[in-house]
Amino acid sequence: MKRRRPSRRAIRASNDRQQHFRVVSPIPTHWRPATCAELQCEPWQHGWKTIVPAGSIQDDYIRHHSGRQFEIVRSDDSANVAFYFPPGQVCFGSHEGHITKLEREPLFIHSELQRKQVMEPQAWIDKSQNTLEQLKKTYG
């Protein structure tokens, strides 16, 4: 016996009833920028080596504008220059994402249809458990 695919109308109707339960800590409201020292990032703790093309914009920046202490170390080829940065300095990655979590409760979000609702934690737990119980009864 050949199985029939559900109609698009039936699929759409079932998708309209989807619910989503999420616990989130958005970066803008639950995180803040952090320093290398706070996070004890690897480069800050142990120093690091950076290899850039000789005469490049990066080479010029490191030498004249970075404000960091460094030693020029031998590179494997003459097309590049290698810089060693001793520990205890702000690393080059700090502006790209050194962040630390604020002591703030996450957001408990329930979404249904086109509506999102931020809920109290216990209400969110109760609603998600009730939904799971209904699913168990329906799909066993």
Consecutive sets of 10 residues in the chain, 140 residues long: mean pLDDT of each?
48 59 93 92 95 93 94 82 95 81 94 90 93 84
Pair 89, 39 in one domain: yes
For residue 12, the model assigns a pLDDT of 39
Pair 39, 58 in one domain: yes
For residue 14, the model assigns a pLDDT of 46
Pair 87, 111 in one domain: no
Q: Is residue 1 part of a domain?
A: no
Pair 90, 46 in one domain: yes
Measured CA to CA, the distance from residue 20 to residue 40 in angstroms comes to 37
Pair 112, 89 in one domain: no
Picking from 78, 95, 112, the residue at the C-terminal end of a domain is: 95
pTM for the whole structure: 0.61
Find the DSSP H helices in 54-106: 57-64
User: How many Cα neighbours within 13 Å face the side chain of 81?
Assistant: 15
Domain hosting residue 140, numbered range: 19-33+98-140
For residue 7, the model assigns a pLDDT of 45
How many domains does the structure of the chain reveal?
Answer: 2
45-72 burial by CB neighbour count: b if 16+ within 10 A, else e? eebbebebeeeeebbeebeeebeeebee
